[in-house]
Amino acid sequence: MKTKYKILATSVATTLFANVASAATYAIEARSDAMGGVGTVSATYLTAPFFNPALTAIYRRNDDAGMIVPSFGGNYDDQYDLVDEIERISKLTDVDEIKKSMNAIDGKKTDFDLGGVVAIGIPNKFLSATAYGKLYTESFVQPKVDTSGTNPLDDSYVQGVSIGVAEAGVSLAKYTNFMNQHLSFGVTPKLQRIYTYSYATSFQNFDTKDLREHETAETMFNLDAGSLWFFGPYRLGISAKNLIGRDVKTKSFMYGSDTIKSYEYSMRPVYTVGAGVVADYFTMSVDYDLNEEKRFSSFDDNTQMIRAGIEFDILRQLALRAGYMKNLARSSDEGTITAGIGLSPLKLIELDIAAQYTNENAMGASINFLATY
């Protein structure tokens, strides 16, 4: 058999779309990004740990090993231009203008996620395995406005909370045929190092680079699991992420005469079902989160996603992709349209490009470079 290695050389994403991903389950992969974020039945054995570990055992005959060499990405949601507005207000001198501007951003927030992954996969007929490492962080910034006095810039401040997770694990999966039914089952035992940060500062001194103060940290074991049924190109799957729930808290501290309370971040299992058609030259898939994922207390950041995607593969040289995703937990959130292409000239190098569009303040793009040997 010809040995074939796949290397995802670099994946870089700059995404500006609103609340389409949770940091707790966050991963960047341009093929999935272009297809609305689906992956429960349509991911590859290399990206299986991020969607459904059962897919670790599903591979082509000429796949012997593969590697993802750092993949990076991020989400940024600043619908109200809050970061720029805080900087603008900090430079004002007219008290009435300061109060008016502060009242306009009272209760508004901005949030952003960053993530990166590495992985190596060895599929085989006995027990397929994909080992991976993953880093991600999620941060929220919100002004605390007090315009009752004569000096609102001194009475008000900007608060931020962040969570960071360093995760390492291995997805193990086995394919079996039971009563002529094709089945795959997989699990991902993993270790997570969870960091929390809390931050407060004046409007004049605000800088997102400083969102790493008042740190707490703890290490925990967690587990993902998944299963897949398929018959020919037709697939049904279910995955469960972070089966061992945990609540982590940020530090409480004093800022001037104010007590900055502790915020709670909830890590609870997320169950996703998927269905689709995965053929040699055509893929169509739908993913649906069965439960709502709650994250930071006191922030309106819950997610429950529905995703749909489609892919046309033209002679293994060109792939055309499109998709749609929407957060059902927040009725005010707009849906996001996605699209992308995959290029594999002469099967020597593979390039995936994805773009997302929610509105003029929420859009993004991602790119993957792959090589095969």
Q: What is the pLDDT of residues 284-319, one digit of tens each?
A: 999 999 998 887 776 667 889 999 999 999 988 899
pLDDT in tens, 112-165: 777 778 888 888 889 999 999 988 888 888 888 888 888 888 888 888 888 888
Tell me what percent of the residues of the chain surpass a pLDDT of 90.
Answer: 34
Tell me what percent of the residues of the chain surpass a pLDDT of 70.
Answer: 87
Only one residue has tokens 């993957």, namely: 368
User: What is the pLDDT, as a whole number, of residue 73?
Assistant: 66
User: What is the pLDDT, as a whole number, of residue 221?
Assistant: 95
User: What is the pLDDT, as a whole number, of residue 198?
Assistant: 85
The pTM is what? Answer: 0.83
The residues facing 177 across adjacent strands are 182
Q: Which residue has the higher pLDDT, 147 or 185?
A: 185
Q: Which residue has the higher pLDDT, 293 or 226?
A: 226
Max Cα distance, the chain (Å): 78
pLDDT in tens, 322-339: 999 999 987 777 889 999
User: What is the pLDDT, as a whole number, of residue 362?
Assistant: 73
pLDDT at residue 199 above 90? no
pLDDT at residue 282 above 60? yes
User: What is the pLDDT, as a whole number, of residue 243?
Assistant: 95
pLDDT at residue 23 above 80? no
pLDDT at residue 211 above 80? no
User: What is the pLDDT, as a whole number, of residue 75?
Assistant: 65
- Closest Cα to residue 160, out of 253, 22, 79? 253
Phi-psi map region of 290: left, alpha, beta (phi>0 left; psi -120 to 50 alpha): alpha
Query: Cα torsion at 72, 53, 270, 296 (round to 10°)?
Result: -30
Walk me through the domains of the chain, giving residue ranges and CATH numbers: 5-372 (2.40.160)
Q: What is the mean pLDDT of residues 88-107?
A: 88
Q: What is the mean pLDDT of residues 349-373?
A: 75
Q: Under a CB-based contact definition with an 8 Å cutoff, are residues 171 and 188 in contact?
A: yes
Q: What is the mean pLDDT of residues 37-60?
A: 93
pLDDT at residue 61 above 50? yes
Q: Beta strands of the chain (E only): which ranges?
A: 5-16, 65-77, 110-122, 128-144, 157-178, 181-201, 216-231, 234-241, 246-249, 253-255, 258-260, 264-267, 270-278, 282-289, 305-314, 318-327, 336-343, 349-359, 362-372
SS3 of residue 102 by DSSP: helix
Q: How far is CA 206 from CA 153, 258, 296, in A?
A: 12, 17, 21
- Closest Cα to residue 135, out of 94, 163, 107? 163
* CB atoms closer than 10 angstroms to residue 146: 16
H or E, element range at 152: helix 152-155
Q: What is the mean pLDDT of residues 94-98?
A: 89
Mean model confidence pLDDT for the chain:
83
pLDDT in tens, 32-45: 989 999 999 999 89
pLDDT at residue 19 above 50? no
User: What is the pLDDT, as a whole number, of residue 4?
Assistant: 45
Q: Under a CB-based contact definition with an 8 Å cutoff, are residues 50 and 22 in contact?
A: no
pLDDT at residue 271 above 90? yes
User: What is the pLDDT, as a whole number, of residue 108?
Assistant: 82
pLDDT at residue 74 above 70? no
Query: Cα torsion at 55, 61, 65, 68 (round to 10°)?
Result: -50
Phi-psi map region of 107: left, alpha, beta (phi>0 left; psi -120 to 50 alpha): left
